[in-house]
Structure formats: structure tokens, C-alpha cells
Amino acid sequence: MDSDALRTFVTIHRVGGFSLAAEKLHRSQPAISRRLALLEGEIGAPLFERMAGGVTLSEAGRVLLPHAERVLAALKDTSDALSSLHKGDGGVISLAVVGSLAGTELTAALKRFAKQCPKVEVLLRTAVSTEVSELVRSGEVTIGLRYYEERSPDLVGLTLKPERLVIACAPAHPLAGKKVRSLRDLKDEKWLAFPDPQERRDPSTGNVFAQFLTRDVAHIQWMPVDSLTAQKRLVEAGFGIALLPESSIAEERKAKALAVISVGDLTAANPVTLITRRDGYLSAASQTLAQILKTVF
């Protein structure tokens, strides 16, 4: 059982199929299938169940997955440590953040880091919170910023300053710049919110719905929009209102493209957590970036 076989197995799982895994690994699909077949022969059990539209892990696959991820992460740690040794103060750091955290505060943090470590390249990826955790756990990225607490024993989480949420609206909205007494006063508005698929739900998705439920409002009119940028553009155009991170609309408010509705009984925030892999290798530059992120967020 070698690392190439484990990498093939994990990639098939992450992308959800053989053809996509072949594209990601730059190999032919028959080569991917043969490599998996050899691994399954070595284990003595199928690792996937074929189904319409893709594959899902078998019982043996579910057992193997966390161990395979740890092996690949450990190998990446070794490679990173040796790379840091040879490159001195240079190298590459990979960072994954929830898309709505990639705003002005992240820009400020990256500028500070670039001044302190000018020879280090930062690779930035955006994902939902669950995916950020998966990327850190698997060793694909070194540091992650996600919403809410991470309880996986494979990860170490540090709670940062909560991100305040505000209700954004178009400047032409009748309530723009005004204050209402209760969130219930907005129950008949059309809301924009992130989609709510159960299997890949981001913890922040249900925030607006939870706020209404605590006020005995079970249903609101809402449109699912899976991009923060798209939500802001739709709000600007007057297609609805949205509960958004305050920092993410700072530029739009300054340009008077978005406005805010104040609500007397609403205090909402998303907890932000910085995560790294437990016992994972952190270069001096990675530790510097983590410290900067802690002070900025």
C-alpha cells in the first residue's frame, strides 16, 4: 500500500468519481481504475460503491479514509519541512478561508505578512466551513479560517473575534438607513441566503432562519444564492435583503451601493475559528501568518 495508491483513493472520494479524479491527477481514467483495483485487491474489499452520477464510499472505504488522509498529510509535512530547510526564508503557504471572510481584514493580514515574509508565496482557496476543515485535515492547506467551532480530534481550533452580521439592503429600499423595532417587522421581506443542502451545509447558512425561529416566525420568503458576491449584487439591484458580514459590505457602503437596516432586537454574529492540523508541521512563516491572522480577525 503506497502513497500513490492512497492519493488516488482519496482523490476519487473528494471529487466524486473516476473521470474527475483522472483530470485532477493528470492521468487516464483506465490508469486510475487500475490503481484503485490494485489497492482494493491488497485490502481485500471494494472501497467504493458505484451509483448513478458518481461513487460513494463502501464500509471499507470509510474505515480507510481517515488513515489515508493522515498518511498523505504526514508526507506533505515531511516535504514542507525539507523544503523550508532548503529555501530558508522562502517557500509557499496554503490558506483556506470561508468566502465571506476574504474581505478587507484578510487583505490587511496578507499585506502585513507580505512585508514580514516577502519571499513567501501564499496560495489562497475559498470554501465553506466544512470544506475548510477537510482541506486542513488532509494536509492540502496549512491554515484555515472557518465559522463556528471545529471539534475534530485531528484539528486544533482557536476562537477569534466574532464577525458581526448586519442586514444589507439597496440604497433605494424604504428602510435603508432606518431602524425597526424587531426582526419580525422584516418577516414579509424577500430574503437572500446561502443554499441549505443538508450534506454540505455551512454552519452560517441557517443564521437568518434561526433568528426568525426564535421570534416564532417559521417561514420567510427567501431565494437561495450560493455566492456572497452574487448576494451583494442582487441586494444592490433591489431583489431582496440579506444578513451579511459587516466587513464584507464595507466597500459597498462607502460607495453608497449598499445600505443597512438597523434592528432593535437583533445582535447577530458568526464565530470565527482559525484551525491547523494537530501535530502538523508549521514553518516559521506559517506561524507568522497564523499570528497575524489572530491579531487581525
pLDDT in tens, 121-150: 999 999 888 889 989 988 889 999 999 888
CB atoms within 10 A of CB 3: 12
Listing DSSP states for 107-159 in one string gives: HHHHHHHHHH-TTEEEEEEEE-HHHHHHHHHHTS-SEEEEES----TTEEEEE
Q: How many CA atoms lie within 13 A of 73 on its CB side?
A: 25
Domains detected in the chain: 1-68 (1.10.10.10), 88-162+271-297 (3.40.190.10), 163-269 (3.40.190.10)
Please give the pLDDT value at position 244: 92
Query: pLDDT digits over 166-189, tens only?
Result: 999 999 999 999 999 999 999 999
Alpha-carbon distance of 231 to 237, in angstroms, equals 10
Q: What is the mean pLDDT of each run of 10 residues along the chain (297 residues)?
A: 87 90 91 90 90 86 89 78 60 89 89 93 91 89 92 91 94 97 96 68 68 90 89 97 91 96 93 92 90 93
- Type of residue numbered 105: E
* Residue 286, C-alpha cell as written in the block: 506559517
- Type of residue numbered 143: I
Please give the pLDDT value at position 89: 61
